[in-house]
């Protein structure tokens, strides 16, 4: 996901403190789970260059930080003179290469945001003057939520709550054709996901089998290594460390997913790590606990939050957390390493209820 950050303010006006907003976005919001969101920062961009920069970068989101009035934004030209950007002028700038979303971080920008949804699918604006601090924190909350793979509606709700708490100001999300039900995911982070084998949440013999995979893989992924640091998975033979602790997949992603052919077995929550390698030599690493990977699976594929999980799933996850990994096994019990059970086909199994 690419965000084009545009700021254009009169040189004598320092109240927006744009540099602080950029710093916070760089520090808190740019890095998603597993890989980097792409932010292109263009502070002090002259009005004349806005359209060209949108055409050049073709962003998913155009973020404009500026002073606003009910019917316009204030940008400056190459000579430093303020220019009013009306909704008609903004439509003209966006029309050649419309982004998915325009985020207007400006006072009284709600009417302007609503007006441009005949050109872009989504737009965000505020209904009153907004403090610099509230606006800045609201933007950081929004992009941080997107970086976590949350839907547009969920990310907006997070931002809206922040702005309302800090500035007592209402923000609004406008949709093209008022499609209230539409709430896309703009950014798919790389993250570990897991589910009980065949979706059976029982623990025969005290342990359970789990399908382990990664969602959000780059299309060019050619190798994925899964591993754990749980030492009780070791068989005691130093020559079998890789086999005991690691599983390797050479599968190419299918719809952004890579799943292991064999299920892992565990008595409780464990740490899981994964390394992805692409054809161009790029590499990405992710980590998770087994319980967090189970939670992520239902969030990604069932749009279901933990509070909405079926009772038996909640109980199974609670059991895993209570055992806190295979380390809780009796010390005199044999440690079989990563016990591998032939898995079901993931693209069928993972979507079962």
Average pLDDT over residues 21-47: 73
Terminal alpha carbon distance of the chain: 30
Q: From CA 30, how far away is CA 2, in angstroms rounded?
A: 10
Assess contact for 175 and 122: CB atoms under 8 A: yes
CA 148 to chain centre: 3
Return the pLDDT at 327: 46
- Taking CA atoms, 131 is separated from 18, 103, 208, 226, in Å, by 13, 16, 52, 46
pLDDT in tens, 137-153: 899 899 988 988 888 99
Return the pLDDT at 181: 53
Mean pLDDT, rounded, of the chain:
84
pLDDT, greater one: 95 or 352: 95
Least confident of 94-108, 232-246, 263-277, 284-298: 232-246
pLDDT, greater one: 113 or 267: 113
- Taking CA atoms, 119 is separated from 62, 89, 99, 257, in Å, by 13, 12, 9, 33
With 0.75 as the threshold, say if the pTM is over it: no
**Exposed (0-12), middle (13-18) or buried (19+): which is 65, by Cβ within 10 Å?**
buried
- HSE-CB of 12 using CA atoms within 13 angstroms: 3
pLDDT in tens, 173-215: 999 986 665 678 888 889 999 999 999 999 988 899 999 999 9
Residue 24: CB atoms within 10 A of its CB come to 16
Return the pLDDT at 64: 93
Using the predicted structure, report yes or no on whether residue 14 has a pLDDT greater than 90: no
Q: From CA 239, how far away is CA 272, in angstroms rounded?
A: 21
- Taking CA atoms, 328 is separated from 164, 317, 333, in Å, by 46, 16, 11
Using the predicted structure, report yes or no on whether residue 102 has a pLDDT greater than 70: yes
Which of 145-149, 224-228, 242-246, 298-302 has the highest mean predicted lDDT (pLDDT)? 224-228
Return the pLDDT at 239: 77
| Position 98 confidence tier, pLDDT thresholds 50, 70, 90 | very high
| Position 167 confidence tier, pLDDT thresholds 50, 70, 90 | confident
Using the predicted structure, report yes or no on whether residue 120 has a pLDDT greater than 90: yes
Residue of 39, 44, 51, 54 lying closest to 11 (CA atoms): 44
């Amino acid at each position: 996901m690419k965000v084009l950050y545009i700021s254009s303010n009169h040189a004598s006006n320092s109240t927006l403190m744009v540099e602080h907003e950029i710093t916070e976005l760089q520090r808190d919001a740019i890095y998603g789970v597993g890989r980097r969101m792409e932010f292109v920062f263009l502070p002090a961009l002259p009005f004349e260059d806005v359209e060209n920069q949108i055409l050049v970068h073709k962003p998913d989101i155009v973020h404009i930080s500026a002073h606003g009035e009910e019917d316009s934004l204030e940008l400056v030209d190459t000579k430093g003179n303020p220019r009013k950007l009306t909704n008609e002028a903004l439509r003209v700038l966006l029309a050649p290469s419309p982004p998915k979303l325009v985020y207007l971080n400006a006072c009284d920008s709600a009417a302007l945001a609503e007006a441009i949804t005949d050109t872009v699918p989504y737009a965000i604006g505020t209904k009153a003057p907004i403090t610099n601090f509230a606006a800045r924190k609201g933007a950081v909350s929004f992009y941080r939520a997107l970086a976590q793979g949350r839907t547009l509606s969920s990310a907006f709700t997070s931002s809206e709550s922040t702005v309302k708490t800090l500035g007592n100001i209402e923000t609004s999300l406008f949709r093209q054709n008022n499609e209230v039900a539409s709430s896309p995911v703009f950014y798919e982070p790389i993250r570990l996901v897991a589910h009980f084998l065949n979706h059976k949440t029982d623990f025969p013999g005290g342990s359970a089998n789990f399908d382990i995979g990664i969602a959000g893989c780059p299309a060019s992924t050619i190798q994925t290594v899964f591993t754990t640091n749980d030492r009780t998975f070791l068989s005691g033979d130093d020559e079998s460390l890789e086999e005991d602790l690691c599983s390797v997949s050479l599968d190419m992603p299918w719809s952004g997913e890579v799943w292991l052919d064999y299920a892992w077995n565990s008595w409780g929550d464990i740490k899981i790590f994964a390394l992805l390698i692409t054809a161009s030599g790029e590499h990405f690493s992710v980590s998770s606990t087994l319980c967090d990977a189970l939670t992520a699976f239902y969030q990604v594929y069932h749009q279901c939050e933990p509070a909405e999980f079926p009772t038996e799933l909640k109980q199974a996850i609670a059991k895993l957390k209570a055992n806190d990994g295979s380390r809780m096994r009796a010390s005199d019990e044999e440690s079989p390493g990563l016990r591998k059970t032939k898995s079901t086909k993931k693209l069928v199994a993972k979507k079962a209820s």
